[in-house]
C-alpha cells in the first residue's frame, strides 16, 4: 500500500532563517506531487505541483521554492522566512490515472 | 476560473441524525470531485472520489452524489456519530489539469 511521509511534524523558525520541508512517498511510482499551505481559518492553497522529476509548477508567487530530486521525493524550501509563511504545510500525491489525491500528516510551521 | 463553495460553513447535529453537506462549483467541466475529512491538526483523509462520468459513490455510511450540469455535489452521512466530527472538504479537478481546487470546508460537530 502507499504511504506518504512528511517531516518535521512541527517547526518553529525565526524570521529570516532558511526552511526545508521534506515529503516522501512509498508504494507507488511516478506520482504527481503537491505542496499546499493551510493558514489559520483559511482553505487550502496550492503552492507547487510536479508531474515528474525536475518538473515543478508554481501557483503562487512568493519566497518559497520546490524541488523534486527523486521520483518520490518533494522538497519545499525558502532562503529567508517571513512571518506570513506561518501555517500548516501539507504534501499530497496524486494518482496519474484517476487523479485521486492522498495527503501526508502535515508540518506545522511557526515563524517568530 | 473555477470556484468551489461549501455551505454551511459549520453544522452541529445530535447523534443519530442523517445529514447532508453541500459543495458547489462554477465550472462544470470537471474531471472528478473528491471529498475529504480533516481532523484538527491533521492531514486530509480521502473519503470518496467521483469521476465525471459517475453520479454517485458510496462507502459505508457515506454517499456522495454529483450533478455536473448544476455544478453541485452532496455528501450524505447516515446515522451520524460523535466520531464523525471533523471538517469536510470537497475539491474538484478540471479536465486537462492536475490541480485540485478546494472549498473552504464544512465544520461538523456531532453531539453525543
Tens-place pLDDT, residues A88-101: 999 999 988 788 89
Mean local confidence (pLDDT), B34-49: 95
Checking if the pLDDT of A78 tops 90, the result is yes
Tell me whether residues B93 and A108 touch, CB distance under 8 A: no
DSSP, residue by residue, B48-69: EEEETT-SEEEETTEEEEEETT
Beta bridge partners of A46: A36
- The Cα–Cα gap between B35 and B112 comes to 24
Of A46, A49, A90, nearest to B44 by CB-CB distance is A90
When pLDDT is cut at 50, 70 and 90, the band that residue B43 belongs to is: very high
If one compares A41 and A5, the residue with the highest pLDDT of the two is A5
CB A90 within 8 A of CB A38: yes
Cβ–Cβ of A90/B45 closer than 8 Å?
A: no
**Position with higher pLDDT, B108 vs A28:** B108
For every residue of B90-110, DSSP letters joined together read EEEEETT---EEE---EEEEE
Residues A100, B32: C-beta atoms closer than 8 Å: yes
C-alpha cell at B37: 475529512
* CA-based nearest distance B84→chain A, Å: 19
Q: What is the pLDDT of residue A61?
A: 65
DSSP B83: G
Amino acid at each position: 500500500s502507499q504511504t506518504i511521509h512528511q517531516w518535521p511534524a512541527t517547526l518553529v523558525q525565526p524570521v529570516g532563517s532558511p526552511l526545508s520541508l521534506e515529503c516522501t512517498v512509498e508504494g507507488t511510482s511516478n506520482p504527481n506531487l503537491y505542496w499546499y499551505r493551510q493558514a489559520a481559518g483559511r482553505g487550502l492553497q496550492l503552492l507547487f505541483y510536479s508531474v515528474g522529476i525536475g518538473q515543478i509548477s508554481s501557483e503562487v508567487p512568493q519566497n518559497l521554492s520546490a524541488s523534486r530530486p527523486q521520483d518520490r521525493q518533494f522538497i519545499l524550501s525558502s532562503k529567508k522566512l517571513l512571518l506570513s509563511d506561518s501555517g500548516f504545510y501539507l504534501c499530497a500525491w496524486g494518482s496519474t490515472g484517476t487523479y485521486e489525491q492522498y495527503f501526508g500528516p502535515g508540518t506545522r510551521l511557526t515563524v517568530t | 476560473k473555477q470556484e468551489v463553495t461549501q455551505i454551511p460553513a459549520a453544522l452541529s447535529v445530535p447523534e443519530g441524525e442523517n445529514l447532508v453537506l453541500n459543495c458547489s462549483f462554477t465550472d462544470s467541466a470537471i474531471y472528478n470531485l473528491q471529498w475529504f475529512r480533516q481532523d484538527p491538526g491533521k492531514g486530509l483523509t480521502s473519503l470518496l472520489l467521483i469521476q465525471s462520468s459517475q453520479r454517485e459513490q458510496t462507502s459505508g455510511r457515506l454517499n456522495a452524489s454529483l450533478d455536473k450540469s448544476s455544478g453541485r455535489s452532496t455528501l450524505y452521512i447516515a446515522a451520524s456519530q460523535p466520531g464523525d466530527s471533523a471538517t469536510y472538504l470537497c475539491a474538484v479537478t478540471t479536465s486537462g489539469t492536475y490541480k485540485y481546487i478546494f472549498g473552504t470546508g464544512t465544520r461538523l460537530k456531532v453531539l453525543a
